[in-house]
Structure 1
Amino acid sequence: MEFDPRWLLIVLPAAFALGWLASKLDTRQWKREQRDAPKAYFKGLNLLLNEQQDKAIDAFIEAVQNDPDTSELHFALGNLFRRRGEYERAVRVHQHLLARGDLPRAERDRAQHALAQDFFKAGLFDRAEEAYAALRGTAFENEAQLALLSLYERSRDWRKAVEVARALEQGGTGSFASRIAHYLCELALEAQARQRDEEAQQLLAEARKVAPQAARAHVLAGQMLARNQQPEQAMAAYSELLALNPEAFNLIAGDYAEAALATASPELAQRALTTLAARYQRAPAMPLLQAIARLQPEPAQQRQRLARHLREHPTLSAARGLLQISGARLGEDEAPLVAGALDRAVRPLLRYRCAACGFEAAHYFWQCPGCLNWDTYPPRHVEEL
C-alpha cells in the first residue's frame, strides 16, 4: 500500500492544534495553582492573626503540600512559634518538614537544626541532644557542637562538656582552654563532695595544666590544702596564682593571710605580709588592706593605713573601716548611728558586677548566673571599678 501525501495535510494541522490546546491547558492549570497558593497563605495568615494557631498551622501545611517550594514559610512560622515560647507548635512545624520525602538535603538539615533548637529551648535536653547529634557531617555540625556544649553546661554534665570542648578546639573553632579548666574544676568539686580528695587534686592539677593562668583551679587547690591542714602548701598555691594572675589574687588575699597564720611560723607570716604589702603598692585594693590587717592587727597601724588609703582612694568601705577603729572620737550614741548608715550605703557597692550583662551579686561567680558566660566578673567590688 502506497503512502498518500495528502494525509499530511490532515495530520500536521491536527497535531499542531492538539499541542496548542495542551499548552493552553497547562498554562491555565499553572495560573490556577498560582492563584490558589496565595489564597492558602492568606488563609493561614488570617487564622494566625485571629489567634487560631492550630488551624493556621494546618492551613500552612496544606499550602506546602500543594506547593513544595514554600518550605521557607514553614521555617519562618516555626521560628515565630519558638520566639513566642510555643515550642510544641514549633516542633510540629519542623517535624512536618522532616517527614516530607521531597525535601532537599540542605533543607532537611536545616529543619533538623531548627527542631533541635525547639527541643533545647523547651528544656527537653535529652531530645535536643539526639537532634543535635544527628547533625554530624552537615553544614550545621559546628553550630550543633556549640549548642551541645551549652546544653551540657546547663545539665551539668561536665565530662561530656570537656569532650565537646576539646573536639571543637581540635576542629579549629577556637581556644576552649579556660572553659575546659572550669569543667575540670566542677568535676573536682563533685569528687571532693564524694570524699575523693585524691581524684579532686588530680583534676585540679589537670585544670592548671590546661589553662595555667586561669585563677579558679589555683584558688580551689589552695582552699582544699588549707582545709586539709596543709597551710604551707596552700600558701604555695596562692603564691603561684599571684605570679600567674595577679588581679585574681584579691579574691584569696584573706585566705593567704589566714594560711600564713595557720603555719604558726613568724617567718612565713612576715613573708606573707611583705608579699601583700608589695601587691598593695602595685594595685591598691581593700581586700589586700584587710588581709594585711589580719597579719598586723595593731589599731594604730590599721588607722594609719586606712587613712592613707582613704586620702588616695576615697571609698565608703575604707571610711567604714576607719570609723570602726576611730569610733571612740564620736559620742557613744553617735558612732553606731554613723556606722549603721555607712553599712547600708556601702552594701550595694560591695558587690561584683558581670562585665557582659551587668548582673550583680554579693558573691564572686566564675560563671555569671545571668548570662551564663564564664570569667566575666572582674575580681574587684563595684566601688573599686
Structure 2
Amino acid sequence: MDLARPAPGTGALHEPRRDDCPWCGSPRLRVRLRTADLIQRKPGSFTLERCADCAHTFQNPRLSAEGLDFYRQGSGRQDLGHRDFWRQDLCRGLGGGATALLTRAGAGRARSLAGVRALSRFDEPESWLDVGTGRARFPAAAKDVLPYTAFDGLDSDPALAEGARRGRIEEAHRGRLTDLAGNLAGRYDALSMIHYLQRRPDPRAELRAAATALRPGGHLLIEAPDPESRSARLLGKWWASYRQPRHAHFVPLVNLCRELDELGFTVVDVDRRAPHVPSDLGAACALLLNRLLPEADAPWRAEPPSRSRLTLRRTAWWAAWWAATPLLALAYAADVLLAPLLTRTGFANAYRVIARRERDA
C-alpha cells in the first residue's frame, strides 16, 4: 500500500464485523475497549470485544490483508521480524533513547532462558523449532542452556535469513506454520511460540499445526499476553500488550489449556509469574506521551509540512521526549521494584504453558 497518501477510508482496511465469538461461537459479545494506533499513530480506530461465555478477547472487525499490510509498514525497517520489529517500532515511534529503557532487551533474554530452563526439566530435545523467530534471537539465547540441541526457525519475514546467516539457527523455514506443518510432520522434539498466537488470524489452526510438527512425546512451549491480568483492566488501552492493531486474539489461559487437551496434549507446566515483563507503567507513560505530542510528519498525511516547520516540529518533539525521560525512568523503576508484588497479586502481564504431545494423540 502507498503510504505517501492517506488511508483510503480506513473502514476498507477491515473485514466485516462478526457477530459471534471465533473461539466458542457464542453471540454474547461485549466491547472491551476502543483505541487508535498508539505507536505509529496511523489513522483508524480498532475495537476489542470479549465473549461473555468463554472470555476470549479478539479484534472485531479484524484487519483485512490490505489493512495488515498498511499497519505493518511505516517504521522504515521492513526487514525486521515481529519480535525485532516491536523493539524497533517502540524506539522509533516513541522517542528513541527516551524509551530504549522500555524495550528491556536484557530482561527479554533472561525470560527466554527461563522458558528454556522450564522446558528442559521435562526433556532435553534434540531438535527445536522456534515459530515466529524473526532474527532468531530466542534460539541464540536458548543455546546457552541447551548447547547440544539443533535449533531451527520459522517465519514469513525476510529477517529470518539474517538469523540463519549469523548461525543462530541451523535451518530456516520461510512461510507460515499452518502451510508448512505437513512438510515438517513429526520432525521436532520441541516447538516454541513466544508471543506469537496473539497476532495470528486463527490461533487454533496454529496449535493444530504445532501438534503436527511435533513428535509424539515432544513438548510445546507457549508464552502469550494474559488478558485476565489486572494490569490490562487497570490500564485499558494504554496496556502495551494490547498493541493494536497488530494483535488480533487474546486467549485466556483456561481456554488454551482446554484446547491443548482436546488436541492430545498434556499440560505439564503453567506459570503466570515468571513470563511477566516489568514495563507496564513505563510503556503506558510512553504511549500516553506519544499520543499527546504532535507529530513532526507522517507519510500518510495529505500534504507534507514546509522544511522550516518540519525542523521546528522535530526539534520540539525530541526536546519534549528527552525532558520526559526522568518520568519514564521513574515509571520503569516502579515497574522493576513492584514486579515481585505485582506478579503475586494478579498483575503479571503474560503466562507460559508447557504441554507434552502424547504418544497416542
| TM-score > 0.5, shorter chain as reference | no
Task: Say which one has the larger Rg.
Answer: 1
TM class by shorter-chain length?
under 0.3
More helix by share: 1
- Larger RCO, structure (CA 8 Å, separation 6 or more): 2
When normalised by structure 2's length, the TM-score is 0.24
More strand by share: 2
